[in-house]
Amino acid sequence: MKEIFANIPAVKYEGADSKNKFAFKFYDADKVILGKKMSEHLPFAMAWWHNLCANGADMFGRGTADKSFGKKPGTMEHAKAKVDAGFEFMQKLGIKYFCWHDVDLVPEADDIKETNARLDEISDYILEKMNKTGIKCLWGTANMFGNPRYMNGAGSTNSADVFAFAAAQVKKALDITVKLGGRGYVFWGGREGYETLLNTDVKFEQENIARLMKMAVKYGRSIGFKGDFFIEPKPKEPMKHQYDFDAATAIGFLKAHGLEKDFKMNIEANHATLAGHTFEHELRISAINGMLGSVDANQGDYLLGWDTDEFPCDVYTATYAMLEILKAGGLTGGLNFDAKNRRPSYTYEDMFHAFILGMDTWALGLINAAKLIEDGTLDKFKENKYSTFKTTEIGKKILSDKTSLEELAAYAEKLGAPELPSGGSQEYLQHVINNVLFGK
Ligand code: XLS
Ligand code: NI
Ligand code: NI
């Protein structure tokens, strides 16, 4: 088969001194860090939609990048050319996973039966490529936000017929996920939210979203899906207010509807910052609830209030994120580059540079996080910070739930003023981090 990215070589690790622009400087797939290969710590995935479909079009201008791969867009020949391009791309970069929406894989027909037949055909073709290359499916999802029928939501729609269409798409996307052996299935509630409460029954809408998710779990398990369902929280965009605002909100929703056993979080960095949180905050909240599943690895821009989906280059953020992931024992999902090239970066070479940047950034994050764990200062500090609960009699009583307000009140009265242990030292810790990261 003719190569699509013919002028671009396979990208290999060459080390930080390499000047080869098609080489990794930090991502060394087989290198063992904290007992595991880098490639296992970092299950990178390619997002079909950004990499093989998006052409740089925005509200103000048409596309700049040619993603036709030599075929006419809107045809099955083009859908297959995207598969060819995607697998060649992933092989050249050593990426082991991919993620998709139903309508990224095939052009949507007017009749859902025809769309589904196209999905059957393309997934046969994808499966062949998977078997030849060993590349795997990380997760699949149904696009329930693009088609005009979802203008009032999918699970949260005001139309029972539209709800049925959403269910039909979820069913088929689950079929294809299972067929491709996907590790997960994602719900990103793009249109599940509202513009104004004046016309919205929030309780009704949220209950219906839960109904759709329950049906998805029931059906998925019945066809042998053993992976995790994921909610991908996002506070806004396209809706003014989205129901899965952040991890804490989504976890509360799952628990309220008895879905917490089957679902975990898919945390996107740019969504975290849109919610007014750091990326690592969202990872921590997911982790302490046992729901850290997968990551959409991108970054936003602090000066822009929307999902800019940039490839990650911020090494501090990648370090803090990897620290959370390592502490949580890793991901059940992976690191999906839900990220796109900037509009003027329209060439095939730019597509590769974007992934080289993203993969090297996360590799640095991993290397740094491992150093911080080995250094141990942060862990020791935290342990010491709360030590009065372990070393004093009253602290031990509180932790073992063996006291009461009355007893604590009597104790406090006797005490006069409490001695205050230091709890901060933020500047010291930040300095330690810089020393560990940049010191020899
Ligand atoms: C949009 C979301 C979307 C999901 C998948 O902001 O990030 O791309 O990851 O539907
Ligand atoms: Ni995403
Ligand atoms: Ni996003």
Q: Given pLDDT bands bounded at 50, 70 and 90, which one contains residue 420?
A: confident
Is residue 390 over pLDDT 80? yes
The best mutation among 246, 296, 311, 336 to test binding of ligand 1, ranked by most ligand atoms within 8 Å of the C-beta, falls on: 296
Is residue 423 over pLDDT 80? no
- Which among 327, 338, 273 has a CA at the least distance from the CA of 139? 338
In this prediction, residue 373 carries a pLDDT of: 98
Cα of 271 vs centre of ligand 3, distance in Å, is 6
- Answer whether 340 contacts ligand 1 (Cβ < 6 A): no
- pLDDT tens for each residue of 351-385: 999 999 999 999 999 999 999 999 999 999 999 99
The closest-lying atom of ligand 1 relative to the alpha carbon of residue 296 is: 9
Q: Given pLDDT bands bounded at 50, 70 and 90, which one contains residue 20?
A: very high
What mean pLDDT comes out for the span 307-330?
A: 98
Written as six digits, the tokens of 293 are 């599943």
The closest-lying atom of ligand 1 relative to the alpha carbon of residue 101 is: 10
Q: Given pLDDT bands bounded at 50, 70 and 90, which one contains residue 1?
A: confident
Ligand in nearest proximity to the CA of 242? 1
Which residues neighbour 414 within 8 Å (Cβ) at sequence distance 6 or greater? Answer: none
Which residues neighbour 40 within 8 Å (Cβ) at sequence distance 6 or greater? Answer: none
Paired strand residues for 296? 268, 336
Cα of 336 vs centre of ligand 2, distance in Å, is 8
The closest-lying atom of ligand 1 relative to the alpha carbon of residue 49 is: 8
d(CA 260, CA 251): 7
Ligand in nearest proximity to the CA of 271? 3
Cα of 187 vs centre of ligand 3, distance in Å, is 12
DSSP strand E in 257-372: where? 263-268, 292-296, 335-337
- pLDDT tens for each residue of 172-224: 999 999 999 999 999 999 999 999 999 999 999 999 999 999 999 999 999 99
Is residue 119 over pLDDT 90? yes
Which residue's alpha carbon is at the smallest distance from atom 10 of ligand 1? Answer: 188
> Which amino acid does the sequence have at 325?
I
Is residue 310 over pLDDT 80? yes
What mean pLDDT comes out for the span 379-392?
A: 93
- Answer whether 234 contacts ligand 1 (Cβ < 6 A): yes
Cα of 309 vs centre of ligand 1, distance in Å, is 9
What mean pLDDT comes out for the span 8-32?
A: 98
The closest-lying atom of ligand 1 relative to the alpha carbon of residue 145 is: 10
- pLDDT tens for each residue of 78-94: 999 999 999 999 999 99
What mean pLDDT comes out for the span 41-64?
A: 98
Cα of 188 vs centre of ligand 1, distance in Å, is 6
Q: Which of 293-307, 343-357, 420-434 has the lowest mean pLDDT?
A: 420-434
The closest-lying atom of ligand 1 relative to the alpha carbon of residue 336 is: 9
- Report residues near ion ligand 2: CB below 5 Å: 268, 296, 338
The best mutation among 232, 239, 270, 310 to test binding of ligand 1, ranked by most ligand atoms within 8 Å of the C-beta, falls on: 232
Cα of 410 vs centre of ligand 2, distance in Å, is 52
Is residue 419 over pLDDT 90? no
Which residues neighbour 132 within 8 Å (Cβ) at sequence distance 6 or greater? Answer: none
Catalytic positions, written as ranges: 101, 104
- Answer whether 104 contacts ligand 1 (Cβ < 6 A): no
d(CA 168, CA 183): 21
Q: Which of 33-42, 131-140, 323-332, 382-391 has the lowest mean pLDDT?
A: 382-391
Which residue's alpha carbon is at the smallest distance from atom 5 of ligand 1? Answer: 188
DSSP strand E in 281-423: where? 292-296, 335-337
Q: Is the peptide bond before 238 cis (omega within 30 degrees of 0)?
A: yes
Which residue's alpha carbon is at the smallest distance from atom 6 of ligand 1? Answer: 307
CB 309 within 8 A of CB 274: no
Which residues neighbour 274 within 8 Å (Cβ) at sequence distance 6 or greater? Answer: 234, 235, 236, 237, 300, 305, 306, 307
Paired strand residues for 47? 99
- Mean pLDDT across the chain: 97
